[in-house]
Structures are given as structure tokens and as C-alpha cells.
Structure 1
Amino acid sequence: MNLVVNPPILPMLAKRVEEVPREGKWIYEPKWDGFRVLVFRDGNEVLIQSRDKKPLNRYFPEMIDPLRQQLPSKCVLDGELVIANDGRLDFDALQLRIHPAASRVKLLASQTPASCIFFDLLCKGVRDLRGLPFRKRRAELELLLKSTKPPIHITPATEDRKTAIDWFSRFEGAGLDGVVAKPVDLPYQPDKRVMLKIKHERDCDCVVAGFRWYKQAEGKQVGSLLLGLYDESKALQHVGVCSSFSAETRHELLDFLTPYRKNALRGHPWKDWENPDELQRAAEHRMPGGKSRWSHGKDLSWEPLRPELVVEVSYEHMQSGRFRHMAHFRRWRKDRKPATCTFAQLEVVPPEELKSIFARGR
């Protein structure tokens, strides 16, 4: 490619804050839950680049022609690849695309086609726009995409704080992650956390049924706690992990958990997850150590604990019965019995139809 902004480029990032900012001049956007991408077009050549600089073209073949047909011959845009199913964003369907078999990718592309939501413009023609204030880049982006059609979209944006707060609550059920706030005079700064993100957070009481070692101190420090919730059939389902502990806390956790390691595997609800004879049952229950193409060679081995401890964690949202992101430790709940830690405690947010944002098409 021969652009004024050539790949690879790292995207501009956001830091988390607790609320929509009250002071200053901001442009607010919904926060999409998809794959962050930078899209480069130079004539007939199109590159969809992931957040970590990897090419994604082969996983989203249905996007290449629309991008080639609807974007200017020389440009670089920042956006998000998403898949919408049944009125909400489907991150699981997006992950299924990262598959080694081209035939599988082609089938999924026809069954669950992706869309691209753009929210920034880095260059157009021979003009490098990264130094312009965001308000001007946004205006250029609106002109650029005013005639586009699905699967290409421009994200909604507003300078009204009340509208942003409304989006924060109203669009959550559709799978959006929260709200992003960008200073109106912000230049594009790759790999810098200069935007703000406001994300949903809730609390949940979970059973602690195991842990993983801290990879730099195996056998000496706890890296993460394995969390479970009981479903309607009273089966304990693995719903995610709680980690990001300090070194001091990792040591303290090992001492605290040691009594619960004794005879932990005896009668443990997850004891058969790696037994070949139990593959069918394992397929029906979420367990903490199954290898998959998402593992990328990671060590998913774990140490069982008697499922007698309850921990309160904070989380952003659930997807397909598990925490979409890592949960965060709040406190131990000695007043709660493990059997009371069920999916019923989770808040269910009704979906806002994506047609509010996807005005037409996908």
C-alpha cells in the first residue's frame, strides 16, 4: 500500500471512568462490542487490520467488496466489526469467524454476515487527518459515509450529555458496551488512552470452585479464582474468572484457600471435565479447562477447591451465560450459602432494537 497513513497502525484507546463527564466539550458515541479494526483502502487493495495489527480479511470475506465499492480509493478509517443476531450484538458469532477452515468461514459469512461501524477517519486521499481536532474529523467522516449502505455504517454521535446518558441505559440490552466520550479538539493518537469509556457494572455472588496459579509464581501465588453459578438443574456452571490481584493478595489467597483444597476433587462438580468418557456431558456444561481454538496454547489447568466459598464480584455484562470480561473481586460473602448463587440473581436488560442505530439493512 502507498497511503499517507500506511499499516500497521495501532488504534487510539480509551481509559475507563465512572460516569459520563460533566465538564468540558465532548462528543459522545455508543461503545460497540465487537472487533476493533482499522480499514485501509488503496485502490483495489483493502486491508482489515485488527487491534493487535493482524490482518482479518480471510475471516470476513463478505466485507471486502462493500469496503472496496463504498470507500474512497485512498483512505484509512477506524471502526468496529460487529454481528447482529435477533436484535442484539452477538460477540460469540464474531469469535466463531476466527477459524482455520476457509469453508467454515465462508458458511458463517453467509449465515451471520458482519457489519462495520466507523467512528473515525485518519486519512483521505493524500490528506493525513490525524492532527485535526476530532470534531473536524467527524464532520469529514459524515460527508464520506453519507451515501453508504449496509453493511457499512457510521456510529451515532452527540454533544448532548443527556442523550449520551440515555444511550448508556437504553442500548445496553442490544449488547452495546456503554458510552465513549471524546474531546472535541482531540487529535488522533495511536495507542494512547486519551478517550474516556463509561461501561456498565453490576455485582454478583459466585461460588469459588477452583483457582489457577499465577504464571510467574506457580505453586506459590494464586493467579485467578474460578467462578460458578448454579443453573435451574442445580448444576454448577463455570461463568468466568476473577483476577488482577496484587502480589501481596496472591500470597494471602494461597493461605486462605489451602484448607479448601483438601479432598476438593472428591465429588467436585467439574471433576470430569478432562475425562474423554465425559465429553458429551462436558459439552452440556461449562467447565474451566477445556482446550479450544481460543486457547492459543494457554495453560488452562486448574486446582479444584471444595465449592464452599462465596465471593461478591463486579462485572460488566453476561453473554451466553458467562461474564463477557474478567470479573473483579469485591469481598467474601460468609453470609451466603453456595446453593443460593444462581443465575436468577442476575439483572436482565431488555434489548433495544438495533434498528435505532442500524437504520436499514443488517
Structure 2
Amino acid sequence: MKLPVMPPVAPMLAKSVPTIPPGASYEPKWDGFRCIVFRDGDEVELGSRNERPMTRYFPELVEAMRAELPERCVLDGEIVIATDTGLDFEALQQRIHPAKSRVDLLAQQTPASFIAFDLLALDDEDYTRRPFSERRAALEGTLASAGTPIHLTPTTTDIDVANRWFVELEGAHLDGVIAKPLDGTYQPDKRVMFKIKHVRTADCVLAGFRWHKTSTDEQPLVGSLLLGLYNDDGALQHVGVVGAFTAKRRAELVDELEPLRLGDGDEHPWSQWSDAAAHEGQRLPGSVSRWNATKDLSFVPLRPERVLEVKYEHMEGTRFRHLAHFVRWRDDRTPESCTYEQLEQPLTYALDDIVPGLGG
């Protein structure tokens, strides 16, 4: 492979801002795997956000890129799995599997798509020093004849359209909106773009905690709090964790949570977590991480008697998609009142209305 921009490349990043800034180029924020594509003839490499190759996990995309992309190019974009109900991030996570036979099967059962949103190189030309307005125009020309599953993300310079996207596109499981300075160059690993994401609050049941990785017998520290919501069947469903605490607060929580620890013979809603069959069809804490098999996900169960308010961005199935953030204790709420009914439901929106041909 010999390109004007060679792998590995750390993608350009975005910093969070509370509102959509004026005077920029706006596009949907896709919820998938960030990916930089390098193609030189038959050679195709898919680089991840952490600069590691993902090529082996998406053979169907490699073949499509050989067929649909220019002979020599470098593109920045997102790998997603699109369905008729929106993006499916959990299905995308399953694509990262060590067994080739499993990878090949999933490539047929849950094929991925690539959403392109920037051009780093074309033929012998390095585009990273050009302003985004020029890169975008060149990208549109580059992908003018590309077909499924290669897609071009829509963009607009109309802030009213961007605000409408922010509200409407969440129903297709998109993350929010990205704003890019029109005169900005491509700066790897620099937060020079802006991201505007949804933030909501929910009252959750405290059901347990994990020890911090630096915790010792002499200085115990709480690492994260485990959150639950009651589903329609009255079962307490694990929905996520909060964990951004100062060292002082982690130490205080040890004593604060001590009265809630289970006594001998006490039952817990998640006591079955050690049974592998119990994890089918639901998300329970305590299982081995599929990303790091050596990571300890055991937890200290607590009596589900306290309620806390948390901030979250959006849901992925029955869970918070990202780490939630502690707001306050809600001692005025009963645990039984913490149900999924309190969560705001975004309007539904079809992916095909955003990118024709995506999502059926």
C-alpha cells in the first residue's frame, strides 16, 4: 500500500458543546464504529478510532469498497448496522468476534454499511490540509457513483435544518449533530469539530456497586454504582452505571452504602447473574466483558432501596447507551416508581429518509 496518507491515522475528534453553533457545516452524528478506510487497488484496510485494524471483521465491506470506491483513496466515516427501525449498535458489537467462521456468518446475517463523511486523500493528493468545504465537495464527487452499502452522509449549512435533525433523527437511533468549521483542515486526534448530543435525566434504583480498580483493604473506594429500572413485568432491569466520582467521594460512598449491603440470607434481584442462561434476553451485571475477558465485572449487591437521579444521552435497547452521570439522591422517590415509563420516547424516523437506500 502506497498512499499520500498512510495508516495508521487517528481520526479527527469533536468536543461537546451544549447548543448547535452558527456558521458551520452540519451533519448527523452516526452511532457506530468510527473508521478510516485506506484503499490502494485491491488492498483495503479499515482502521479504528484507536488506530487498530478492523478489516477482518467486515469482509462484506472490504469487497464493497473494492467495487465502489476509487482505486486509491482514504476516507473517514462510520461503520453502522442499519435496520428498518434504525441503527443497531448491539448487533454491530457482535461483529467483533475472534472466529472467522462466526465473522463470515454475521457478515451475511447482519451486514454492515459505511457512512462516509470526510476525504483525506484521493489518488496522489493529500486533502488533509484543505478546508472542509473543499474536502466535502471532492468527497461528493468521489462517491457520486458509489452504491450500497457505501453511503455519503447528508450535510447542511442551514442551522434550522440542523436543529430539526437534532430532534427528529434520534428516532432512528442517531447520536445528535456534528458541526464542522467550513475552513477547518483535517487534524488527526484533535478536537476541532463540535458535537451536540441529547442529555436527559432519569430516576434509577441503586442495586449495587463495583470497587474501584485502586481500591485496597486499607483504603476501600467505590468505583461505580449499578443502576436499575423496573420493566413491565415488575423485574428490576440493569440499565447502566455511574462512575465519575472524585477520590474523596469514592471513599465517602463506602460508608454511605454500608447500611444497604445484603445480610446473610437476603435475596437480590440480580442474584442469578452467575447463571449464564440468565443473561439470555437481558443485560445483567457480573458477566465477562466481551471486549476484555480479564476485566473483573463482579459487583457488591445492595438492597434496592435508594433512588438516584442520573443524566444520560439515549437508550440502546433497554440500557443507557453511554456512561450515565450522577445528579443527586432522590430520597423522595420510591424504588418501585422507577420504571421505563418515565423515559422520554423520541419520534420514530426511518433511516431511508436520511440516506436513501440505508435501512431498507
Which category describes the TM-score, using the shorter chain as reference length? over 0.9
SS state at 1:306 partner: coil
Shift of the alpha carbon at 1:27?
A: 0.5
- Counterpart of 1:163, as a letter, is V
* Corresponding residue for residue 345 of structure 1: 342
Distance 2:168 2:216 in 1: 44
Structure 1 residues not aligned, in runs of 5+: none
Q: Match for residue 101 of structure 1?
A: 99
Structure 2 CA distance for partners of 1:343 and 1:260, relative to 1, 3 Å:
same
The alignment yields a C-alpha RMSD, in angstroms, of 1.5
Displacement of 1:361 in angstroms is 5.5
Conservation of the 8 A alpha-carbon contact between 2:34 and 2:79: yes
| 1:262 positional shift | 4.7
Q: Give the TM-score taking structure 1 as reference length.
A: 0.95
Aligned pairs (5 A) from 1:260-279: 260-263=260-263, 266-274=266-274, 278-279=275-276
- Inter-partner Cα distance in structure 1 for 2:34 and 2:200: 24
Answer with 344-353 or 110-119: which moved more.
Answer: 344-353
Offset of 1:116 from its aligned partner? 0.4
In 2, are the aligned partners of 1:37 and 1:81 still within 8 Å (CA)? yes
Q: Which moved more, 1:91-100 or 1:248-257?
A: 248-257
Tell whether 2:229 aligns with 1:229: yes
Identify the match of residue 312 of structure 1 among 309, 312, 315: 309
**Cα deviations across residues 316-358 of structure 1 (Å, max 9, x unaligned)?**
1111201110001001000000111111111122321111122
Q: By how many angstroms is 1:86 displaced?
A: 2.2
For 1:296 and 1:122, how far apart are their aligned partners in 2? 35
- Give 1:286's aligned residue: 283
What is the 5 A alignment of 1:40-79? 40-79=38-77
Residue 273 of structure 2: SS of its match in structure 1? coil
Partner of 2:210: 212
Whether the 8 Å CA contact 1:173–1:350 is kept in 2: the answer is yes
> 1:11-160 to 2 correspondence within 5 Å?
11-22=11-22, 25-160=23-158
Q: Secondary structure at the match of 1:19?
A: coil
Instruction: Note closer, same or farther for the CA distance 1:286–1:93 as it changes in structure 2 (3 Å cut).
Output: closer
CA shift, 1:285, in A, is 4.2
Q: 1:206 to 1:265 in 2, by over 3 A?
A: farther
Q: Letter of the aligned partner of 2:139 in structure 1?
A: L
Aligned-residue identity in percent: 56
- 1:74 maps to a residue whose letter is R
Quote the Cα distance in structure 2 between the aligned partners of 1:150 and 1:284: 31
- Counterpart of 1:189 (choices 155, 175, 187) is 187
Please state if 1:329 is matched with 2:321: no
Count of residues in Structure 1 that have an aligned counterpart in Structure 2 = 357
Q: How far is the alpha carbon of 1:292 from its aligned partner? A: 4.6
Please report how far the alpha carbon of residue 286 of structure 1 lies from its aligned counterpart in structure 2 after TM superposition.
2.8
TM-score computed with the length of structure 2 as normaliser:
0.96
The 10-residue stretch of structure 1 (226-235 or 101-110) with the greater mean CA deviation from structure 2 = 101-110
